[in-house]
């Protein structure tokens, strides 16, 4: 199943289920109203509901049978699939060749940092910044985990039971701010610096999330080209490691790190500029395109 958020032509924000083969997004509020099935209107609240999946299966089946709530995929604007999670946890230095390109040591434990949730933006939106604040804005394709069930001190063996699914993130980074500070939160948390999307893909649909190709295209040129098979700390370990320190709540997002090929460590460096189009993608989830703009 592919969970999405979208905006209607009347600028209403809705939760939906995308059916790419049919070019359709099922508007859960509309079909839910017809069947008298109430659902929360926020993704993190939906994921906190017991047995949300059963209700969505029912609604999607009814929409397929009757057409009620089915919308043309091309006629709606997708939003970040989680708009306001409690936290966005990020993992740094989690691909060997990215560690090496930055001249860093391979970490013994996952290196955690954070982006403020206010940095989140969605597909086809602007990534915007003041060029007087930062001149070194970089891209990072990442597999993102979306927490489904509260997780506190979970074993690695049970970790993925706590995930609702997977999405794609661009960990946009102001390198000059990041490296000027002793820690990274300022350079990572500018407004719009956390594009997410296009959908949350549930575990049974993605197959093996540690065997997905991943890429970044900048103005059509491929600059990152790797696979989640190259993660240093795997998904089970990351969820368990985080949950030993703090409770993961439904809707929380974990960015698992970027492979090599980021702009800062290229020769010469490549930084994003006004007018650039940047696309990040992960196999089995899809692509996320954003437009760079000076603000
Ligand atoms: Mg990153």
Locate tokens 């860093």: which residue? 104
Q: Is 40 helix (H, G, I), strand (E, B) or coil?
A: coil
HSE toward the beta carbon, residue 276, CA cutoff 13 A = 19
Write the secondary structure of 119-161 as one string of H (helix), E (strand) and C (coil): HEECCCCEEEECCCCCCCEECCEEEEEEECCCECCCCHHHHHH
What the block records as the tokens of 72 is: 């043309």
Distance from Cα 220 to the centre of ligand 1, integer Å: 21
Distance from Cα 97 to the centre of ligand 1, integer Å: 13
Distance from Cα 112 to the centre of ligand 1, integer Å: 10
Question: 98-146: per-residue pLDDT in tens?
Answer: 999 999 999 999 999 999 999 999 999 999 999 999 999 999 999 999 9
Locate tokens 């102001």: which residue? 174
Question: 205-251: per-residue pLDDT in tens?
Answer: 999 999 999 999 999 999 999 999 999 999 999 999 999 999 999 99
Question: 30-58: per-residue pLDDT in tens?
Answer: 999 999 999 999 999 999 999 999 999 99
Average pLDDT over residues 16-40: 96
Distance from Cα 13 to the centre of ligand 1, integer Å: 28
Considering only CA atoms, give the Rg of the chain: 19
What the block records as the tokens of 87 is: 């936290």
Mean pLDDT of the chain: 97
Band of pLDDT at residue 11, cut at 50, 70 and 90: confident
What pLDDT does residue 55 have? 95
Distance from Cα 90 to the centre of ligand 1, integer Å: 6
**Structural contact between residues 271 and 233, judged by C-beta atoms closer than 8 angstroms:** no
Neighbours of ion ligand 1 (CB under 5 A): 140, 171, 258
Distance from Cα 249 to the centre of ligand 1, integer Å: 21
**Structural contact between residues 123 and 5, judged by C-beta atoms closer than 8 angstroms:** no
Distance from Cα 256 to the centre of ligand 1, integer Å: 7
What pLDDT does residue 257 have? 98
Distance from Cα 126 to the centre of ligand 1, integer Å: 19
């Amino acid at each position: 199943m592919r969970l999405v958020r979208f905006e209607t032509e009347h600028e209403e924000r809705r939760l939906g289920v995308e059916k790419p083969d049919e070019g359709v997004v099922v508007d859960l509020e509309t079909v839910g109203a017809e069947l008298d099935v109430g659902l929360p209107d926020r993704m993190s609240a939906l994921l906190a509901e017991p047995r949300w999946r059963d209700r969505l299966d029912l609604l999607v089946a009814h929409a397929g049978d009757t057409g009620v709530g089915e919308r043309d995929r091309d006629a709606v604007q997708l939003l970040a699939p989680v708009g306001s999670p409690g936290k966005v946890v990020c993992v740094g230095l989690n691909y060997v060749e990215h560690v090496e390109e930055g001249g860093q040591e391979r970490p013994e434990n996952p290196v955690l940092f954070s982006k403020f949730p206010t940095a989140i933006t969605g597909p086809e939106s602007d990534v915007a910044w003041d060029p007087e604040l930062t001149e070194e804005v970089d891209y990072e394709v990442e597999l993102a985990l979306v927490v489904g069930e509260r997780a506190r001190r979970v074993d690695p063996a049970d970790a993925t039971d706590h995930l609702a699914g997977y999405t794609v993130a661009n960990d946009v980074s102001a390198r000059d701010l990041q490296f000027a500070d002793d820690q990274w939160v300022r350079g990572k948390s500018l407004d719009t610096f956390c594009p997410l999307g296009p959908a949350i893909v549930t575990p049974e649909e993605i197959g093996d999330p540690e065997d997905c190709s991943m890429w970044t295209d900048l103005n059509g040129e491929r600059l990152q080209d790797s696979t989640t098979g190259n993660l240093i700390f795997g998904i089970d370990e990351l969820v368990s490691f985080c949950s030993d320190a703090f409770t993961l709540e439904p809707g929380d997002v974990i960015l698992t790190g970027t492979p090599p090929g980021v702009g800062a460590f290229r020769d010469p460096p490549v930084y994003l500029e006004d007018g650039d189009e940047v696309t990040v993608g992960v196999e089995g989830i899809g692509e996320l395109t954003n437009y760079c703009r000076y603000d």
